[in-house]
Chain A
Amino acid sequence: NAGVTQTPKFQVLKTGQSMTLQCAQDMNHEYMSWYRQDPGMGLRLIHYSVGAGITDQGEVPNGYNVSRSTTEDFPLRLLSAAPSQTSVYFCASSSPDRGTEAFFGQGTRLTVV
């Protein structure tokens, strides 16, 4: 029962470095999303996808890119990391059906120094 798998769990980056957070789900969900969690701010939507080949911006998209070439995978790219991107990142997937919850990965704790 893998569900939603995120890698890595922890990462330290230097300012200006780039990296990709990986997210994969095995539930054949059409919807996938990336959130960042910061103290006192809850979970904020970065980017989302409603199916392979379709992505859109959420509330806080600046500094992040996504792509969705397959149903299973939804990577999040940080092009040039900044200290303001220090956060915990969650990937989630869901079906479009009403009443169905979002399933979350374990999270990635990212520190940018």
Chain B
Amino acid sequence: AQKITQTQPGMFVQEKEAVTLDCTYDTSDPSYGLFWYKQPSSGEMIFLIYQGSYDQQNATEGRYSLNFQKARKSANLVISASQLGDSAMYFCAMREFNTGNQFYFGTGTSLTVIP
């Protein structure tokens, strides 16, 4: 079974609008972390935001926020006020702290910001 599922292969958003990228996960480990990475066309992997399974508040980092719904096992990334530079591939990842402690990635969502 897939540990991380990203069901949106491609998304488009108008500049200055908000966009939500979906991520669902599957784990039986009660202690885990969820991460989002950005991969621009240049290829590097850029860490964006982290949410721990025991965190009570949704994580925020500047224009990025993570909509964490534990019961639904979802960890959607919200990008507010989209910019042209946000056009990239976005990956959701999970780390199970009691089970190997490795990172598992989804298949990614390609985001295009339209001027």
Q: Which residues of A contact B (CB under 8 A)?
A: 31, 33, 35, 40-45, 48, 50, 58, 88, 90, 92, 94, 96, 98-99, 101-104, 106-107
Contact = CB atoms under 8 A, between A and B. Distances in A.
Given A43-B91, A88-B43, A106-B43, A98 B102 contact: no
Interface of B: 4, 6, 9, 31, 33, 35, 43-45, 47, 50, 52, 91, 93, 97, 101-108
Given A42-B107, A96-B101, 11 more contacts: A33-B103, A40-B9, A42-B4, A43-B93, A43-B105, A45-B103, A88-B43, A99-B50, A102-B45, A102-B47, A107-B44
Contacts of A103: 47
A98 B108 contact: no
Contacts of B101: 31, 50, 96
Contacts of A92: 45, 103
B47 A99 contact: no
Given A58-B102, A98-B52, A99-B52, A41 B44 contact: no
B97 A98 contact: yes
Contacts of B6: 42
B31 A98 contact: yes
A94 B33 CA distance: 13
24 contacts: A31-B101, A31-B102, A33-B102, A33-B103, A35-B105, A40-B9, A42-B91, A42-B107, A43-B93, A45-B104, A88-B43, A92-B45, A94-B103, A98-B31, A98-B33, A98-B97, A99-B33, A99-B50, A101-B35, A101-B47, A102-B47, A104-B44, A106-B44, A107-B44
In this complex, the member of A31, A41, A44, A99 whose beta carbon has the largest number of chain B beta carbons within 10 angstroms is: A99
Given A98-B31, A98-B33, A104-B45, A42 B52 contact: no
Q: Which 5 A-B pairs have the closest CB atoms?
A: A104-B45, A42-B107, A43-B105, A101-B47, A42-B105
Contacts of B9: 40
B13 to A, nearest CB: 21
